[in-house]
Structure 1
Amino acid sequence: MIYKFYDVAPDTTLKYVETILPLIGNITEFEVFRNKEDSPYVVREEEEIKSYTFILKDQKEDEFWFHTLCGYSGSGPNATLKILQLLGIKEDFHTCEEGNTHIKKRSLNPVHKLNLLVTQDKAKGYNDKDIDYNIVLSMDFKFAYQKHNVLKILKDLGYIQHIIPENKVLYKKSYLFDELDKPKYEYYYYTDNIFTLSPAFRDLSKAQVQTLVKKIITGNNGTINYEADID
């Protein structure tokens, strides 16, 4: 089946992909054209000729066609990279290089891994700082939408901080991520994250926090393959 979405705004296309994630299997192939005139994916729809410039294909042989240049025409291919990495495509395909007007990659192996340092904000006042470090978890998901759902739920319960390698020194105990498996290339949607539970849940015990987070993960078909309590 072919799903088409025709919009010139990169952010709108990214939001659309996030919305239909449950429909998208693991991506096996993608193709992107910097110039819409070069794309062979041209159809007549509603009395209009439409050129699609970003094509995704998954293991179910479904195809997803997008018209947007995904940032190429203005701010660079940021949305292209975001969509690929949202879908677990972490390799560096040199999409940012000026000379790459057409990129096609096959036999892709998406990675849906998430590493979490779970903390609990126990502050009782605006200027109070009281963070309890709880547990480190490493998990894998079969599909992108499962990982995305977990992150959405966690953001409703607290806040997420992405751990960018060059900024790790800024985060206490971020060294705990050093031995965990992660993709070598990441530009958006980093694997290593600190999740801090909101002060509204300050009365939960350490064990209750762990149970809550693990239930969210396994309830979305995540597999926890490493865990370690933090003293």
Structure 2
Amino acid sequence: MIYKSGKLGCYEAYDYVKAMLSKIGKVKEFKAFYEDTEPYFEIEDGRKNYYHFILIDDNENEFWIDTNCGYGGTGPSFTEKILQLVGARENYKIDKKRVIHEKDLELNHDLNALVVLHDYSNLKEKYKILFMIEAKFSNAASRFKVVDALEKLGDLHPHILQDERFNSYFRDYDYVDNSLGQYKVNNILFLSRYLKNISIEDLKEILNTIAVRICGDAVEINFIDLNAEHIEE
């Protein structure tokens, strides 16, 4: 079956994919084009409107999306965001290639989040490391929903190597991650100040309940105790 985002622009196309995640199976293939390419068009008012980004899942469904590739601009950047959203995290040179066709994609729906409690009363910016969440999702929709839930518990930030405060906690997760923002595998969850008095065990139970209620058996979640001391900047 063919699903189309509509020719509404890349922002709306991205929102369309997020809304359709539960319908998108395991993405096995994608095509991206800079120029109009047959047969990826629909006819409206007697003219051809072309789509330049096509996702194909393991159910042979095709998703025609109003983004593109081949230059450093907004359209290709949203193509890259959508690929990362569905778990395709390789560097496909979206902004450089004018025709891209990738098959047998290696998808990664993992999420690692270092849970950190910020001492808001300390002007020197003290942090307490609580534990690491390791979650493996079987599909993109489940991961997206859990990330959305975590963002309601605090500030979820992607871990970057330039932030040396937390590098040691991610040394066992050293694979290359080309994804951006909330799509990165490794993240820091700075808990909301409203949760500062909750016990670690209760917090783990809350997180486990959220994940299981959202995902059922589509997630494997572990909590790794780190027994870390305070870190002071």
> Percent identity, aligned pairs only?
29
**C-alpha separation in 2, matches of 1:128 and 1:179:** 29
2:151 maps to 155
Name the structure 2 match of 1:7.
Answer: 7
Amino acid at match of 2:168: Y
> For the structure 1 residues 70 and 104, does the alpha-carbon distance in structure 2 shift closer, same or farther, using more than 3 Å as the test?
closer
Aligned partner letter, 1:137: I
- What is the one-letter code of the residue matched to 2:50? S
Structure-2-length-normalised TM-score: 0.85
1-structure distance, mates of 2:45, 2:130? 56
**CA–CA separation in structure 1 for the residues paired with 2:116 and 2:205:** 13
- For the pair 1:86 / 2:79, whether they are aligned, the reply is no
| 1:177 aligned partner | 170
Indicate the SS of the match to 1:12.
helix
SS at 1:180 equivalent: coil
Cα contact 2:67–2:75 (8 A) shared by 1: no
Letter in 2 for 1:110: L
Shift of 1:109: 2.3
- SS in structure 1 of the partner of residue 152 of structure 2: helix
Q: Is the 8 A contact 2:88 2:107 kept in 1?
A: yes
Partner of 1:215: 209
Aligned counterparts of 1:137 and 1:85: Cα–Cα separation in 2 = 20
Q: Which amino acid aligns with 1:25?
A: G
* Residues 31 and 24 of structure 1: CA distance in aligned 2, closer, same or farther (over 3 Å): same
In the superposition, the TM-score normalised over structure 1's length comes to: 0.86
- 1:230 matched to 2:227? The reply is yes
Note the aligned Cα RMSD (angstroms). Answer: 2.4
Alignment of 1:9-48 (within 5 A): 9-35=9-35, 37-45=36-44, 47-48=46-47
Unaligned runs of 5+ in 2: 229-233
SS in 2 for 1:84: helix
Question: Residue 26 of structure 2 aligns to which amino acid in structure 1?
Answer: N
More moved, 22-31 vs 5-14: 5-14
Find the aligned partners of 1:39 and 1:185 in 2 and give their Cα distance. Answer: 33
Q: How much does 1:21 deviate? A: 1.0
1:187 corresponds in structure 2 to 179
Structure 1 residues without counterparts, runs of 5 or longer: none
How many Å apart are 1:13 and its aligned residue? 1.3
Distance in 2, matches of 1:193 and 1:226, equals: 14
Aligned length: 223
For the structure 1 residues 76 and 65, does the alpha-carbon distance in structure 2 shift closer, same or farther, using more than 3 Å as the test?
closer
